[in-house]
Amino acid sequence: MTPGYTFDTNIIKGYRLEDLPERFYMSSVVLSEMMTGAADETEFKGYQDTWRAHSKDGTLIVPTAEDWLMASKALYWLAQARKKKAGGKSPKRPPAAKQELAMDVLLAACARREGVIIVTDDTDFDAIKYYMKTLKLRRGREIAKL
């Protein structure tokens, strides 16, 4: 069976919901990011409607307790790698960068569990994949091939 797909936030922003590929699974993590950045109440409510529609048809990926645990482990490993690379002291990172990485790692943990491919142009996922060996990734430029 061909695996399904989910899009990272940097990819889904360029899509209309009716143009999403077959076998598409919406990530609640991505929808949460989209809701946070909604320009107005109408856009926010549209994301809520999308959440409900995907929940209803069984294509909404929601983190489990195990996903949160896996994400925490991966974030720890990534932090240790940065610390080691910097000679033993953790380099400073802006809070927004930490939050984005946490959401990306959580998305990765969920996609790995579900066996779906993440379509992204975010290079953080290459580092995440080092710790989640079975994570499947495709680049945004490959979308035409879906």
Strand (E) or helix (H) holding 3: none
Give the model's pLDDT for residue 32. 95
pLDDT tens track for 108-125: 999 999 999 999 999 999
Residue with tokens 């080092």: 130
Give the model's pLDDT for residue 1. 62
Pairing verdict, β 136-139 and 5-7: unpaired
pLDDT tens track for 72-87: 999 999 999 988 888 8
pLDDT tens track for 16-39: 767 788 899 999 999 999 999 999
Query: Rounded distance, CA 112 to CA 117, Å?
Result: 8
CB 113 within 8 A of CB 64: yes
Report CA Rg, the chain: 16
Phi then psi for residue 7, to 5 deg, are -110, 140
Query: Rounded distance, CA 76 to CA 25, Å?
Result: 27
Domains annotated for the chain, with CATH where assigned, are 5-145 (3.40.50.1010)
3-state SS class at 23: coil
First to last CA, the chain: 14
